[in-house]
């Protein structure tokens, strides 16, 4: 009696197709995960860059000028001129997402003038800390954002 079944060749071809399909799905899944995490960390890094600009805009030019001139110390969680870890503590006044501690932040203040106009350029660079999982997921190692705070009449 002749039993019906698959030849070895059929099985091999089927397994090959199946392997390609499964590998593609794995690759796609991995790429999706990578992209998703990249987007998430980019967004987080950019938000961390935007935050001091908004806060410093609220401080106003005069305060920033004093900070830039070294006459006044900036708030502890916004150190100026040095790349610093972003503190994460449940007891801190300033609360960040837990993964913010995987980044470092550099805030730079540069006075700019044009005629009678005086302003302060704020540049914030947020970089990934070494040896962290963000390094794996995030395609760029640093993001930066800039803005100007102009002197205002009193």
Partner 1 sequence: MPEVTGQSRRAGVAMFSAIFVMIIVGLLAMQFHYMTRQAQSTAYRFQTSELARQLAAAAMEEAFMYVHNETENQSGAFFNKLVSRSSEIDASTTSLDNKNSKGTPVPVALTLAQAAAMPIGSRLKIEATARIVDFRNTDSKGARYYENEGVGTLELRVTVEPKPEFKKQLQGACTITRHHDYKVITIVSRRDNSTQRSSYANGFILDYALFVRNGQEEFEGTGGLSLNPAKQKLSVDQTGLSPSQFGKIYLGNRRNSNVYLNIGSTNADLIPEPRKKEKMIEVDDQTVFKLLPKFFAQVRAQAQKVVNDKGASMKGFSMSGHKAYFEYQRLPITDEALAPKGDLKDTRTLVHVAELKYQNKKEVTELFPSIRFLPENSLIDILEGDVRQRYFHHGYFYVDMSGCKIWVKAKKSGKTKEETIEITDPALINQFKNRLIPCINAEHIAAITDGSINSATDDSIDLVYLNNNIANTNPDVLCRIDSANRYLKGSNTTLAHPGMFHFRNAGSLDDPTMASVPFAHMNLWARRNAPTDRLEEYGIYQPAQKKLFLRGVIELSEPLVIGENGDVEYEGLGVIIAPGITIKNGLKRKPGTNSACILVTRGHPIEVSTENLVEAALVSMGRNDRNGQIIATRKMNLHGCIATDRLKLDKWAPGVEHRVAYDPFFKRNDDLYQVNIARWVTFERMVEQDE
Of 50, 84, 101, 129, the one binding partner 1 (CB under 8 A) is: 50
Between residues 29 and 92, which has the closer beta carbon with respect to partner 1? 29
Of 11, 12, 32, 73, the one binding partner 1 (CB under 8 A) is: 32
Sign of CA dihedral 144, 98, 35, 31: positive
Work out whether 77 is an interface residue with partner 1 (CB under 8 A): no
If one counts every other C-beta atom within 10 angstroms of the C-beta of residue 40, the result is: 14
Work out whether 153 is an interface residue with partner 1 (CB under 8 A): yes
Q: How far is the CB of 110 from partner 1 (least distance, A)?
A: 10
Q: With H, G, I as helix, E, B as strand and everything else as coil, classify residue 152.
A: coil
Q: How far is the CB of 35 from partner 1 (least distance, A)?
A: 4
């Amino acid at each position: 009696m002749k039993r019906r079944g698959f030849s070895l060749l059929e099985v091999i071809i089927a397994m090959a197709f199946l392997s390609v399909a499964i590998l593609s799905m794995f690759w796609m899944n991995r790429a999706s995960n990578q992209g998703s995490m990249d987007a998430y960390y980019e967004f987080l890094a950019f938000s961390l860059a935007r935050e001091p600009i908004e806060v410093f805009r609220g401080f106003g030019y005069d305060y920033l000028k004093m900070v830039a001139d070294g006459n006044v110390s900036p708030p502890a969680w916004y150190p100026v001129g040095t790349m610093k870890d972003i503190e994460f503590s449940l007891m801190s006044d300033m609360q960040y997402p837990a993964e913010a501690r995987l980044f470092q932040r550099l805030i730079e203040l540069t006075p700019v003038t044009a005629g009678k106009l005086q302003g302060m350029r704020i540049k914030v660079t947020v970089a990934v800390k070494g040896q962290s999982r963000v390094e794996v997921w995030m395609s760029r190692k640093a993001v930066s954002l800039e803005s100007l705070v102009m002197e205002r009449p009193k």
